[in-house]
Structure formats: structure tokens, C-alpha cells
Amino acid sequence: MIDALKFVATLSCTFFAGAAIYINLVEHPARMGCGTKIAATVWAPSYERATVMQASLAIVGLASGCVAWLLGAGLLWLVGAILLGLVVPFTFIAIMPTNKRLLLPDRDLASNETRALLEKWGWLHAVRSVLSLAASVVFICALLRA
């Protein structure tokens, strides 16, 4: 049971990290290179699709890491789970206000303000990438120590 939880925690976390890093290094810069109006237009559906996937991965990784720790897997599993779990409140507290402003129905998608919000979003999302990468490293180190 503990081994299955470790596997699920590590897999969920590394999938989350891979997706988050891809967004920061590939997808968001590519859309920003297409002009502000196009970037804002494609950001919204991408955000909506990624939200479902990444929220699920974060919650599964957090839960399985915590349960593995509770069942005696070691402190690193709790540390990794907390690092990954931090993306959830960070998203609600730090990123959600920017998301809401970008999704306003009357937003001028070509404006300088929209561009600034998209740039800010990219930096905020990078925090999620760093947290999930750190959690992945912790989980992998925990697996290698076993």
C-alpha cells in the first residue's frame, strides 16, 4: 500500500511539474509572441483546460504523499506533499485575482493592461513550476533513499 501511494504521489507530482514547466517555458512564451490579442484569446481556453488537470494532479499528489507519510513512509513524503500542496492556496491567493481580471468579458484583449496581466500571470505561474519541481525532487530523493 505504501509503495503504491509513493508511486501515485511521485507520478502526480512529476506530471504536474512537467505540465507547469512546459507552460512556462514553451506555451506561454509562444502565445505571447503572437501579439497580445491572440495571446489573451488563447490563454482563456488553455487556462480552463489546464485548471482541471493541474488541480487534480496537485490534490492527488498532496493526498497520497500525506497518507504515505502517515503510514510510515518517512518525513520526506510529507515535505514533498506540502510543497506540492502549496500550489493550491498560492493559486487561489496570488494567481486567481489576475485570472479573474484576464477573464473579464469587457476586457480589451489588445490593450497594454492585458499584456501586463499576461506577463504577470507568467511570473506567478513560474512559482507553481518551482514549487512542483522542488516537490518532485523531494519525492524522487525519498524514493532513492528507500
| Every domain of the chain and the residues it spans | 2-145
Mean of all residue pLDDT scores within the chain: 97
Q: What percent of the chain has pLDDT over 90?
A: 99
Q: Which of 65, 93, 92 is nearest to 79 (CA)?
A: 65
As a whole number, mean pLDDT of residues 58-86 equals: 97
The answer to whether the beta carbons of residues 112 and 145 sit under 8 Å apart is: no
pLDDT value for 93 = 97
pLDDT value for 126 = 98
Angle (CA) 7 10 13, round 5°: 140
As a whole number, mean pLDDT of residues 32-52 equals: 95
Q: Sign of torsion, CA 79 83 85 90?
A: positive
pLDDT value for 63 = 98
Query: Is the pLDDT score of 146 beyond 80?
Result: no
pLDDT band at 119 (very low <50, low <70, confident <90, very high): very high
